[in-house]
A = this chain, B = another copy of it.
Amino acid sequence: MIVVMERGASREKFEAVCRRIEELGYKTHPIFGVERTVIGCVGHEDKTPLESLETMPGVEAVVPILKPYKLVGRELKKEKTVVDVRGVAIGATDIVVMAGPCSIESEEQILEVARAVKAQGAQFLRGGAFKPRTSPYSFQGLRERGLSMMRAAADETGLRVVTELVSVADVDLICEYTDMIQIGARNAQNFALLQCAGRTNKPILLKRGMATTVEEYLMAAEYILSEGNYNLVLCERGIRTFENATRFTLDLSLIPVVRGLSHLPIVVDPSHGTGHWRYVASMALAAVAAGADGLIIEVHPDPAHASSDGPQSLKPTKFAELMQSLRRLAPAVDRNVP
């Protein structure tokens, strides 16, 4: 932390601030500049107690220097993490594709999608059984019945299952059926849920919240790792901005930014990130070019009849075209689509 004193702050104020810093267990390193004095604070511990210095007389600002995360950071672990989900490696050379409907609607629907996406090279079946919907009057998911349908469809086709956990109360049920737990964007800072996920032995797919900064996002990941669960995959799914031509603004620069700060793998969700099927393929290709380790794509056999998120779902034929494009693109960035 750097404490910046106001221009012309008195000697007394400066000394009171130094005393308080030392009282909190840090050493002070004042720099007397031409216009003002700044005080460097050096010490082992957590720097958050220093934030409150901002309320002391004569203090203009308290400027943090260190990153607040540890386990997720590159400084502690240089090599990139590869998360293994029952034999599928996320973060290695292969681009891992997770595909499926927004909601599980019926045995036929989920099996039809599972076959279609498997045939094109997807390795995960995604689908929601518990749906966090903006409206309490919208379809909320088939719950356990849905989980069981998805598990059966995945087993029959040889896919892994990823599905969302929306409440601590459902964790055992979800773990029974899924291979990987998704934490959705609206729960990205639901710390109780993050800790709960961190205590399971399932790999986690943690979506970025729609207004979560990179730093907050890595701290949310830190919640999971600090509970002992290191099998974590990050997922960019669009942030909220003023632009409404797309449902969210897909922030692909997250990929190189996180690469510089963290060892965790990153996948991208262009379906939620754009909100319109027309834009999904372009942004999926861009994500892989930018260095994403995988993609999560909504596919529905009949989007016009989908019970949720129809506008952003690809038909199986469009999904097949996308996979073909990815297969051409991946080698150009030293990746592979299996």
Contact = CB atoms under 8 A, between A and B. Distances in A.
A219 to B, nearest CB: 5
B187 A166 contact: no
Nearest to A130: B192
A240 B211 contact: yes
Contacts of A191: 132-133, 136, 166, 186
Contact of A51 (B168, B190, B311, B329): B311
A195 to B, nearest CB: 8
Interface stretch (A83-91, A145-153, A155-163, A273-281): A273-281
A317 interface: no
Identical copies of this chain, number? 4
B55 A311 contact: yes
In terms of DSSP, what is the predominant structure of the interface of chain A? mixed
A256 B241 contact: no
A176 interface: no
Contacts of A291: 282
Given A29-B31, A282-B256, A285-B333, A134 B216 contact: yes
A80 interface: no
A242 B241 CA distance: 5
Given A189-B134, A283-B256, A239 B249 contact: yes
A54 B311 CA distance: 6
Given A169-B168, A244-B244, A253-B274, A304 B53 contact: yes
A40 B31 contact: yes
Nearest to A195: B136
Given A286-B289, A329-B333, A52 B306 contact: yes
Interface in A157-211: 166-169, 186-187, 189-193, 195, 209-211
Contacts of A36: 65-66
A62 B313 CA distance: 16
A65 B65 contact: no
A264 to B, nearest CB: 15
A286 B252 contact: yes
Interface stretch (A41-49, A92-100, A108-116, A121-129): A41-49
Closest 8 CB pairs of A and B: A52-B310, A211-B211, A289-B289, A167-B192, A286-B290, A186-B189, A31-B40, A286-B286
